[in-house]
Amino acid sequence: MGREVFVNQALNFADYLHTIKWKTRKQFSKIIDFVGEENLKTAYEKGKGVICLVSHTGSWEFSAIMPPVMGYETSAVSKATSNERINKLIVDARESRKMKNIARGKSYPKLIDALNKGECLIIMIDQDTNVKGVFVNFYGRPAYTPDGAARLALETGAPVIPMYTKRIGKSKHQFTILPEIPLVKTGNNEHDLFENTKNYTQVIENIIRETPTQWVWMHQRWKTTPEDVERFLAEKEKKNQINTEN
* Domains of the chain by residue range: 2-245
pLDDT, tens digit, for every residue of 193-221? 999 999 999 999 999 999 999 999 999 99
CB 163 within 8 A of CB 48: no
Give CA–CA dist 217/134, Å, rounded: 20
Beta bridge partners of 135: 144
pLDDT value at residue 77: 81
Read off the pLDDT of residues 167-182 as tens digits, 9 standing for 90 and up: 998 889 999 999 999 9
Which residues touch 189 (CB under 8 Å, ≥6 apart)?
Answer: 154
* DSSP label of 159: P
Short-list 10, 42, 63, 44, CA closest to 173? 63
Give the confidence band of 71 by pLDDT, cuts at 50, 70, 90.
Answer: very high
Angle at 221 between CA 219 and CA 225, to 5 degrees: 140
Question: For residue 94, which of 86, 105, 104, 106 has the smallest C-alpha distance?
Answer: 86
In 3D space, the residue among 119, 123, 117 whose CA is nearest the CA of residue 98 turns out to be 119
The CA angle 129-165-23, to the nearest 5 degrees, is: 100
User: Is residue 215 within a helix (H) or strand (E), and if so which, with residue range?
Assistant: none
Predicted confidence at residue 243, as pLDDT, reads 65
pTM: 0.90
